[in-house]
Amino acid sequence: MKYSIFSLARAALTGHRGWTRAWRDPAPKSRYDVIIIGGGGHGLATAYFLAKEYGIRNVAVLEKGWIGSGNAGRNTTIIRSNYMLPGNVGFYELSMKLWERMEQDLNYNTMVSQRGIINLYHSDAQRDAFARRGNSMRINGIDAELLDAEQIRKELPFLNYANPRFPIMGGLAQRRGGTARHDAVVWGYARAANDLGVDIIQNCEVTGFQRTDGRITGVETTRGSIGAGKVGMAVAGNTSRVASMAGLRLPIESHVLQAFVTEAIKPLIPGVVTFGAGHFYISQSDKGGLVFGGDLDGYNSYAQRGNMPTMEDVCEGGMAVMPMIGRVRLLRQWGGIMDMSMDGTPIIDRTPVDGLYLNAGWCYGGFKATPASGLTFAHLIARDEPHKEASCFRLDRFRRGATIDEKGQGAQPNLH
Ligand SMILES: Cc1cc2nc3c(=O)[nH]c(=O)nc-3n(C[C@H](O)[C@H](O)[C@H](O)COP(=O)(O)OP(=O)(O)OC[C@H]3O[C@@H](n4cnc5c(N)ncnc54)[C@H](O)[C@@H]3O)c2cc1C
């Protein structure tokens, strides 16, 4: 069913009885050409692009819970392409371009809102680093603007400019950055993939791999065995667990990241603001709630919940940069599991196991990558060669010394 102003008007006039299900609820077939494990944004986008761009339609997405129950439905919805290093630049800009036409492509309102993102700086050294990043972005055709304190004050008068430790000296803005509605992205890809023939199978946990002569030939699941020509893993925070079923040990650690939402207030924050020095970032949802987050909880975990000391630490960061946030009540808080790679950069590659493909290592930044991740992972699975914009995200880069360390933190996954 195509969504449009006419279908909406027709439905309104007929008592809203004509709406059809957005996607089917099929029983698993005995075999698929491609199985994607994980019904988050990345898994569903991969299935969509496999069908749309590469003509592979005998595809199933297997999800252990409900689609979007992982990080896809738990993130703070920020999209941006303000990267500097070769390898990242082209990939994230490809993603941004796909965001810009996503609603037309999927015929779905994913509420992509390019309200802009500003990264604040507080020292000469930080300003120089941001200037360098901005220059690199512009050289690569990506929008970037270095703002001074007065320009920031005009846009964000409510910030604390007199913090003695972190005085606001300016910020780096990317106006094309912003937010998108995370659940709608999941639903949009699910609906579009379903329309192209993809089976989306929920409540179906993968519990093992079938192999013949070393090659993957299918998966074991809580709903029985399913054969497959190829299998792609897009399970984010569960990557090390699922990979271990195939005998793989990966350069990934699982860590918890929390997010927070306050009660709704009148429009206040025009875009996304990040206070990296204080480990705090914030935006305002269309409903009015302030959506914010900060650092990882600081220990390895597979539990989708966070701890109180980190909650306190994030709120302190908020109070430092935006003291009046202390007067608003916190409504909700939750945690998600991050697949932190050793250099903070993702992996989209074949694995040493024939027929098994890996999409992982998204750290805290995988939501903005969803469209490009889906397209490039689909390309890899369909063609057995990396997409040109994801050709640096190889698994062997750690052995080759070709890491892509955008933050310059070294092999310290919890700091990326
Ligand atoms: C609090 C928080 C804030 C964040 N903020 C941002 C942000 O602002 N911007 C940004 O770009 N990124 C952000 N991220 C990161 C982003 O959400 C993730 O990198 C991205 O969602 C990961 O890809 P995904 O959507 O496919 O993962 P997921 O949605 O986690 O999908 C993986 C799926 O695999 C399923 N699965 C796992 N094991 C199995 C199995 N054995 N069998 C079947 N299915 C299985 C899971 O149930 C899950 O649904 C944030 C994350 C969190 C938690």
Q: Which residues neighbour 210 within 8 Å (Cβ) at sequence distance 6 or greater?
A: 216, 217, 218, 219, 220, 225, 227
Question: What string of DSSP letters covers 122-191?
Answer: -SHHHHHHHHHHHHHHHHTT---EEEEHHHHHHH-TTS-TT-SSS---EEEEETT-EE--HHHHHHHHHH
For ligand 1, atom 52, name the residue with the nearest CA. 75
CA distance linking residue 248 with residue 251, whole number of Å: 10
Read off the pLDDT of residues 295-327 as tens digits, 9 standing for 90 and up.
Answer: 999 899 999 999 999 999 999 999 999 999 999
- CB neighbour burial string for 267-302, b if at least 16 within 10 angstroms, e if fewer: eebebbbbbbbbbbbbbbbeeebbbbbbbbbeeebe
> How much distance in Å is there from the Cα of 136 to the middle of ligand 1?
29
Q: Which amino acid is at 35?
A: I
Q: Determine the average pLDDT of the residues in 22-29.
A: 97
> How much distance in Å is there from the Cα of 3 to the middle of ligand 1?
27
Read off the pLDDT of residues 149-190 as tens digits, 9 standing for 90 and up.
Answer: 999 999 999 999 989 999 999 999 999 999 999 999 999 999
367, 370, 373: residue to mutate for ligand 1 pocket, most atoms within 8 A of CB: 367
For ligand 1, atom 24, name the residue with the nearest CA. 40
State whether the Cα torsion 271-318-252-189 is positive or negative: negative
Burial of residue 258 (CB within 10 Å: 0-12, 13-18, 19+) is buried
Classify residue 40 by its DSSP letter: S
87 — pLDDT class (breaks 50, 70, 90): very high
41 — pLDDT class (breaks 50, 70, 90): very high
> How much distance in Å is there from the Cα of 70 to the middle of ligand 1?
5
pLDDT value for 312: 96
> How much distance in Å is there from the Cα of 72 to the middle of ligand 1?
5
Q: Determine the average pLDDT of the residues in 376-401.
A: 97
For ligand 1, atom 49, name the residue with the nearest CA. 70
> How much distance in Å is there from the Cα of 127 to the middle of ligand 1?
32
For ligand 1, atom 33, name the residue with the nearest CA. 38
75 — pLDDT class (breaks 50, 70, 90): very high
- The mean predicted confidence, pLDDT, of the chain is 97
42, 61, 71: residue to mutate for ligand 1 pocket, most atoms within 8 A of CB: 71
CA distance linking residue 18 with residue 277, whole number of Å: 52
Q: Which residues neighbour 49 within 8 Å (Cβ) at sequence distance 6 or greater?
A: 374, 375, 377, 378, 379
Asked whether residue 415 carries a pLDDT value surpassing 90, the answer given is no
pLDDT value for 416: 86
CA distance linking residue 323 with residue 311, whole number of Å: 16
Q: Determine the average pLDDT of the residues in 287-297.
A: 96
> Closest ligand 1 atom, CA of 334?
1
Strand-strand pairing, 59-62 and 252-264: unpaired
For ligand 1, atom 51, name the residue with the nearest CA. 75
CA distance linking residue 337 with residue 238, whole number of Å: 8
> How much distance in Å is there from the Cα of 73 to the middle of ligand 1?
7
Confirm if 160 and 322 have CB atoms less than 8 A apart: yes
For ligand 1, atom 9, name the residue with the nearest CA. 78
Q: Determine the average pLDDT of the residues in 365-383.
A: 98
> How much distance in Å is there from the Cα of 237 to the middle of ligand 1?
7
Q: What angle do CA 51, 57, 60 make, to 5 degrees?
A: 100
Alpha carbon separation from 166 to 7, 152, 271 (Å, rounded): 52, 15, 21
364, 375, 416: residue to mutate for ligand 1 pocket, most atoms within 8 A of CB: 364
Question: In the structure, which protein residues have their CB atom closer than 6 angstroms to any atom of ligand 1?
Answer: 37-43, 62-65, 69-72, 74-78, 205-206, 234-238, 242, 257-259, 293, 336, 362, 364-368
Read off the pLDDT of residues 220-233 as tens digits, 9 standing for 90 and up.
Answer: 999 999 999 999 99
Q: Determine the average pLDDT of the residues in 100-126.
A: 98
Beta strands of 18-162 (E only): which ranges?
A: 31-37, 59-62, 78-79, 117-121, 145-148
> How much distance in Å is there from the Cα of 336 to the middle of ligand 1?
7
pLDDT value for 410: 87
What global pTM score does this model have?
0.97
> How much distance in Å is there from the Cα of 71 to the middle of ligand 1?
3
CA distance linking residue 45 with residue 130, whole number of Å: 32
> How much distance in Å is there from the Cα of 370 to the middle of ligand 1?
10
CA distance linking residue 200 with residue 63, whole number of Å: 8
pLDDT value for 409: 87
> How much distance in Å is there from the Cα of 226 to the middle of ligand 1?
24
> Closest ligand 1 atom, CA of 369?
11
> Closest ligand 1 atom, CA of 205?
42
Q: What is the dihedral of CA 113, 283, 142, 123, to 10 degrees?
A: 170
> Closest ligand 1 atom, CA of 363?
19
30 — pLDDT class (breaks 50, 70, 90): very high
CB atoms within 10 A of CB 58: 16
Q: Which amino acid is at 139?
A: I
> How much distance in Å is there from the Cα of 402 to the middle of ligand 1?
26
